[in-house]
Amino acid sequence: MTKFFLTILLALGLASNAMAMDAPDELVRNVSKDMAETVRNDKAIQAGDIKRVTEVAETKILKYFDFQRMTGLAVGREWRNATPEQRTALASEFRTLLVRTYANALAQYKNQTIDVKPLKLAATDTDVTVRTELRQPGSKPIPMDYDMIKGTDNWKVYDVSVAGVSLVTNYRETFGQEIKASGIDGLIKSLHDKNQAGAAKAADTGKK
Amino acid sequence: MKLLTIVTMMLALLLSACATTGNPQDPLEPMNRKVFAFNDAVDTYAFKPVAKGYAAVTPMPVRTGIGNFFSNLEDAWIGTNNLLQGKPGAAASDVGRLLVNTTVGILGLFDVATELGLEKHDEDLGQTLGVWGVGPGPYLVLPFFGSSTLRDSSNTLVTLAVPYVDPVGAVDRVAIRNTARAIRLVDLRAQLLAAGNALDEAALDKYSFMRDFYLKRRINQIYDGNPPKVKNKEDDDYLDEPAPPAAPAATKLEEPPAGQFAPAESSGK
């Protein structure tokens, strides 16, 4: 009898586990909605506090991004030659840069709505593109696509395209130049410097 | 017309300029960077502050109306380009938009056509030439107008020079014409405030970031959002490769400091 219950529990557990992994389009829809509501209802963010948006972004969305993969894509083939330490440093700096960019964009679009197109997902799919449109009054909708890969616990975004242009691969040229001029460590330093400058600016807006 | 002279001069410059190293699509990078810096300064000290002020004092519905009004004026030219690209259906829709928005939408202040399902298109002469098979030519940064290519600058030239391509330019009264142009410019800049700020945060090198984005977006526009599938991440296999050891022959050591030769190697030789 115990065994029987155990089996049922196990089955239920497995089933709920499988269900816990949201479909990619569902995930994008839920997370965007959640973010939009949070931004709308947070007074500090409405006042332009970048630090606060960054905090919210950190807690709510970062687990849905695969920064290691993103960084690898942005760096391109030189990624092969990066040591584990360099990879970690690159990913961490790039992540900071992207989060701050995202937070800045988020803090400014106040009347935006995101329209997520339904995705036909086959059970065998491990790499999909979720198409969305960012709508705002007074301007044309901007297509934003999320390339997502199936992870162990949930789907993760590894590239975002705006108006059909991959943001991650758009970094390749600049990153390539940096690496050619001053090596991988040079790129890490450039990213680090950029982040320092950005953090100083964000602190400024927070004080206002 | 002064602008036209500048643009023409730049095109002439192109012919004499020598190719430099760097991005093959951007042989004029040194000159482009100068113009870019000029545009950036003009933007920082003139356009952006004005656009910010405008955005601050103009209520959203008014801004939407102004944006719609100028957007409506573009639809005739967009329709012409759709026709030139062999898309009569899209062109008819553009004409329909123009008619509906100019009448029901009260001179274009309201975009009724979109609500009716007539979608706004995005076409210009550069895209038409692209559809006809004309390559982009060298990347150009035009004074005041920004990112372009030799091919795409044709649209800027035609808009400035040919009457009625830009209906605002066809207004007889100079004062009204210039006021309309100024409002349009400011409104456009205000729409881009958020994007501009994001760009400042995102780019290590704003110039190349904008250039690469522009060139890729144009390809996307020419194919109306469905460019032929070049799998951009074709060789993403390297992503799954493990990182190399920090230094050659240092496998025995645990986490040797990056960039330094492991002692094991020198002693081994």
CA distances from A59 to A34, A49, A62, A63, B198 (A): 12, 16, 7, 8, 21
Does ipTM exceed 0.90? no
Q: What span, in angstroms and rounded, lies between the C-alpha atoms of B103 and B116?
A: 14
- Residue B240 in any domain: the answer is no
pLDDT tens column, A155-168: 999 999 988 899 88
Q: Taking CA atoms, what residue in A is nearest to B257?
A: A85
Q: Which residues of B touch A166 (CB under 8 A)?
A: 216, 232
Q: Is the minimum CB–CB distance between A180 and chain B shorter than 8 Å? A: no
Q: Is the minimum CB–CB distance between A87 and chain B shorter than 8 Å? A: yes
Q: Which residues of B touch A82 (CB under 8 A)?
A: 243-244
Contact B202 A97 (CB under 8 A): yes
In one-letter notation, the amino acid at residue A141 is P
pLDDT tens column, B89-133: 999 999 999 999 999 999 999 999 988 989 899 999 999 999 999
Contact B232 A100 (CB under 8 A): no
Query: Binning pLDDT at 50, 70 and 90, where does residue B230 land?
Result: low
Q: Taking CA atoms, what residue in A is nearest to B236?
A: A73
Tokens of B186: 């400011």
Q: Which residues of A touch B254 (CB under 8 A)?
A: none
Helix (H) or strand (E) holding A128: strand A127-135
- Residue B200 in any domain: the answer is yes
Query: Binning pLDDT at 50, 70 and 90, where does residue B169 land?
Result: confident
Smallest Cβ–Cβ distance between A85 and the set B225, B238, B246 belongs to B246
Smallest Cβ–Cβ distance between B239 and the set A69, A104, A167 belongs to A69
pLDDT tens column, B186-225: 998 988 887 787 888 889 999 999 999 999 999 999 999 8
- Residue B231 in any domain: the answer is no
- Tell which CATH classification among 3.10.450.710, 3.30.1330.200, 3.40.50.720, 3.40.50.300 matches the domain A2-207: 3.10.450.710
Q: Interhelix angle for A84-108 vs B193-202, to 10°?
A: 170
Contact A101 B201 (CB under 8 A): yes
Per-residue pLDDT, B268? 38
Task: Compute the average pLDDT of residues B62-68.
Answer: 91
| Length of chain B, in residues | 269
Contact B191 A138 (CB under 8 A): yes
Contact A170 B198 (CB under 8 A): no
Residues within 8 A of B (CB atoms), A 102-121 only: 104-105, 108-109, 111
Contact A140 B203 (CB under 8 A): no
Helix (H) or strand (E) holding A146: strand A142-150
Contact A165 B213 (CB under 8 A): yes
In DSSP terms, B31 is beta-bridged to none
Q: What span, in angstroms and rounded, lies between the C-alpha atoms of B151 and B149?
A: 5
- Residue B249 in any domain: the answer is no
- Residue B248 above 80 pLDDT? no
Per-residue pLDDT, A132? 93
Q: Which residues of B touch A84 (CB under 8 A)?
A: 243, 246
Q: Which residues of B touch A85 (CB under 8 A)?
A: 246, 255, 258
pLDDT tens column, B129-140: 999 999 999 999
β-pairing verdict for A142-150 and A155-162: antiparallel
Smallest Cβ–Cβ distance between B198 and the set A101, A137, A191 belongs to A101
Q: What span, in angstroms and rounded, lies between the C-alpha atoms of A194 and A94?
A: 10
The count of domains in chain B is 1
B263 Ramachandran zone, left/alpha/beta (phi>0; psi -120 to 50): alpha
Q: Is the minimum CB–CB distance between B209 and chain A shorter than 8 Å? A: yes
Q: Taking CA atoms, what residue in A is nearest to B111?
A: A138
Per-residue pLDDT, B245? 65
Q: What span, in angstroms and rounded, lies between the C-alpha atoms of A148 and A66?
A: 9
Q: Is the minimum CB–CB distance between B224 and chain A shorter than 8 Å? A: no
The answer to whether B117 touches B81, Cβ cutoff 8 Å, is: no
Q: Is the minimum CB–CB distance between B115 and chain A shorter than 8 Å? A: no
Query: Binning pLDDT at 50, 70 and 90, where does residue A84 land?
Result: very high
Q: Is the minimum CB–CB distance between A97 and chain B shorter than 8 Å? A: yes
pLDDT tens column, A37-82: 888 888 888 777 878 888 888 888 888 999 999 999 999 989 999 9
Contact B246 A83 (CB under 8 A): yes
Who's near A185: CB < 8 A, 6+ residues apart? A86, B258, B259
Who's near A125: CB < 8 A, 6+ residues apart? A150
How does A73-102 read in b/e, with b if 16+ C-beta sit within 10 Å?
bbbbebbeebbebbbebbbbbbbbbbbbbb
Q: Which of B64, B226, B233, B235 best tests the A interface by mutation, with the highest count of A CBs <10 A? A: B233
Q: Which of A98, A101, A159, A178 best tests the B interface by mutation, with the highest count of B CBs <10 A? A: A101
- State whether residue B205 is helix, strand or coil: coil
Per-residue pLDDT, B267? 40
Please report, to the nearest 10 degrees, the dihedral formed by the alpha carbons of residues B205, B211, B216, B222 taken in order: 160
- Residue A109 above 70 pLDDT? no
Contact A178 B204 (CB under 8 A): yes
Q: Which residues of A touch B201 (CB under 8 A)?
A: 97, 100-101, 104, 198
Q: Interhelix angle for B48-57 vs B193-202, to 10°?
A: 130
Q: Which residues of B touch A194 (CB under 8 A)?
A: 204
- Residue A24 above 50 pLDDT? yes
